[in-house]
Structure 1
Amino acid sequence: MMIDKAQCIPATLFTCKDNTCIESISSSDIVVRTEDSGGEAWLDAAACTSLEWQANDYLYMDVTHRSHDVLVVVLRFVDLNQQSITVHFGVLPGVETRICLPLKALAGDELFLSRFPGVLQTVLRGDPSVDRSGIIGFGIGTIASTASRCFTIGSIYLSKELPDFNYAVQPLIDELGQLTDRRWKGKTGSEQEMRVRMEAELSCGDPEISSSPELSVYGGWKELCFESSGYFRTEFDGDRWWFVDPEGYALFSAGMDCVQPSDSMRVNGMEHLLPDLPGKHGAFRDAWSSESEYSFMIANWIRICGTSWRKAWMEVTEQRLKQWGINTIGNWSDGDFIAKSTLPYVYPMHSFPGTSEFIYRDFPDVFSEEYERNAETFASQLMELQNDRRMIGYFMRNEPHWAFVDSLNLTERLLMCDRSLKSKTYLAHWLQAKYGEVSKLNEAWDMTFGSFEELESKLNGLPTTVAAREDCERFHRIMIRRYVEIPAASCRKASPHHLNLGMRYAWVANDDILEGCEAFDVFSINCYQMKPDKEMIKQIADKLNRPLMIGEFHFGAADAGLPAYGIRAVASQRERADAYRHFVEQSAAIPELIGVHYFQLNDQPALGRFDGENYQIGVIDVCLRPYDSFVEAMRDSHARMYNIRTGRVKPFSDPPHEIPKTGF
Structure 2
Amino acid sequence: MLKRIFILFLLSSCSLSVFAQEQELYSFLNKPLSDKLLAIGVSIMPVEANQQNESLRRVVFNNTEKPRLTLTSAWDLTEKDSISLRIQNAMDWDLTLYVTLTDTDNSTLNAVIALPAGPAQNLVIPLESFSSRTWGMREGITSWQSGGNLYLLPTSVVGKIDPSKIDTISLSMDKPAVAQSLLIGTMNKTDADVEQMAYYHLVDKYGQNTRMTWPQKILSNKQLKTMAEEESQELVKWSKNTPTQDIYGGIGKRPQFRASKYFRTEKYKGRWYFVSPNGYAFISLGVNTVTPDDSQTYIDGRDFMFASLPDAKSVLARFYGYANTSSGNAAQGGLGVDQGKWFDFYQANLYRTYGINFLDEWHENVIKRFKAWGFNTIGNWSDNSLIGLHKLPYTRSIYIRGDYNTVSSGLDWWGYMPDTFDPKFSQAVDDAVKLATKDNKNDPWLIGYFADNELSWGKLGDSPTDHYSLVMNVLAQTDTSPAKQAFLKQLKGKYTDIAKLAKAWGINVQQWDAIASKGFNAPQPSAEYPAIEQDYGIFLANYADHYFKTVKDSLKKYDSHHLFLGNRFAVKLPEVISSCAKFCDVISFNTYTMLASQGYDTKLIAQLDRPIMITEFSFGSKTMGALWGGPISVTNEKERGESYQRFVSDAFADPHMVGTHWFQYIDEPLTGRLLDGENGHVGLVNITDRPAHELIKKVKETNINLLEKIR
TM-score relative to the length of structure 1: 0.74
Partner of 1:427: 487
What displacement does 1:349 show? 2.4
1:394 aligns with 2:456: no
Tell whether the 8 Å contact from 2:564 to 2:584 is kept in structure 1 after alignment: yes
Partner of 2:586: 522
1:440 aligns with 2:504: no
Give the letter aligned to residue 91 of structure 1. Answer: G
Q: 2:386 aligns with which of 332, 337, 354?
A: 337
Partner of 1:133: none
1:180 aligns with 2:210: yes
- Render the CA deviation track for 1:182-202: whole Å, top value 9, x for unaligned: 122222232321132225556
Partner of 2:248: 218
What displacement does 1:543 show? 3.2
User: C-alpha root-mean-square deviation of aligned residues, in Å?
Assistant: 4.3
Tell whether the 8 Å contact from 1:522 to 1:548 is kept in structure 2 after alignment: yes
What displacement does 1:358 show? 2.5
Partner of 2:677: 612
Does the residue aligned with 1:524 lie in a helix, a strand or coil? strand
- In 2, distance between residues paired with 1:23 and 1:184? 39
Does the residue aligned with 2:139 lie in a helix, a strand or coil? strand
- Render the CA deviation track for 1:449-499: whole Å, top value 9, x for unaligned: 443233221345433543334323322332233233222322232221111
Partner of 1:287: 319
Alignment of 1:402-421 (within 5 A): 402-406=457-461, 407-409=466-468, 410-417=470-477, 420-421=480-481
What displacement does 1:255 show? 0.8
Partner of 2:295: 263
Tell whether the 8 Å contact from 1:588 to 1:644 is kept in structure 2 after alignment: no
- Render the CA deviation track for 1:21-53: whole Å, top value 9, x for unaligned: 65665756697998857556499xxx9xx989x
1:570–1:462 Cα change, 3 Å: closer
Alignment of 1:627-642 (within 5 A): 627-642=692-707
- In 1, distance between residues paired with 2:159 and 2:562? 43
- In 2, distance between residues paired with 1:423 and 1:551? 29
What displacement does 1:304 show? 2.5
Tell whether the 8 Å contact from 1:233 to 1:498 is kept in structure 2 after alignment: yes
What displacement does 1:180 show? 0.9
Partner of 2:310: 278
Give the letter aligned to residue 330 of structure 1. Answer: G
1:486–1:354 Cα change, 3 Å: farther
Moved more, 469-478 or 231-240: 469-478
What displacement does 1:333 show? 0.9
- Render the CA deviation track for 1:532-590: whole Å, top value 9, x for unaligned: 21895643433333111111111123442212222223322222222222222333332
- In 2, distance between residues paired with 1:384 and 1:460? 46
Alignment of 1:502-521 (within 5 A): 502-508=566-572, 510-521=574-585
What displacement does 1:435 show? 1.6
- In 1, distance between residues paired with 2:442 and 2:141? 47
Partner of 2:358: 309
1:181–1:39 Cα change, 3 Å: closer
Partner of 2:223: 193
Q: 1:248 aligns with which of 269, 275, 279?
A: 279
Partner of 2:534: 470
Give the letter aligned to residue 411 of structure 1. Answer: V
1:493 aligns with 2:554: no
- In 2, distance between residues paired with 1:530 and 1:303? 37
Moved more, 484-493 or 350-359: 350-359
Tell whether the 8 Å contact from 2:38 to 2:69 is kept in structure 1 after alignment: no
- Render the CA deviation track for 1:589-636: whole Å, top value 9, x for unaligned: 321101111111111211111212221121112222212222222222
Give the letter aligned to residue 665 of structure 2. Answer: L
Partner of 1:127: none
Structure 2 segments unaligned to the other structure (5+ residues):
1-36, 42-60, 78-82, 126-136, 145-152, 161-171, 323-339
Tell whether the 8 Å contact from 1:484 to 1:517 is kept in structure 2 after alignment: no
- In 1, distance between residues paired with 2:218 and 2:354? 18
Structure 1 segments unaligned to the other structure (5+ residues):
1-10, 53-58, 74-87, 104-138, 156-163, 647-664
- In 1, distance between residues paired with 2:274 and 2:362? 29
- In 2, distance between residues paired with 1:60 and 1:187? 39
Q: Highest CA radius of gyration, 1 or 2?
A: 2
1:312–1:558 Cα change, 3 Å: same
Moved more, 269-278 or 329-338: 269-278
Percent identity between the two aligned chains:
26
Give the letter aligned to residue 315 of structure 2. Answer: A
1:622 aligns with 2:687: yes
1:165–1:460 Cα change, 3 Å: farther
What displacement does 1:329 show? 0.7
Give the letter aligned to residue 564 of structure 1. Answer: W
TM-score relative to the length of structure 2: 0.69
1:210–1:487 Cα change, 3 Å: farther
1:575–1:436 Cα change, 3 Å: closer
Tell whether the 8 Å contact from 1:252 to 1:588 is kept in structure 2 after alignment: no
What displacement does 1:518 show? 1.8
- In 1, distance between residues paired with 2:175 and 2:343? 30
Q: 2:544 aligns with which of 480, 484, 488?
A: 480
Moved more, 239-248 or 360-369: 360-369
Give the letter aligned to residue 620 of structure 1. Answer: V
How many residues are paired up? 564
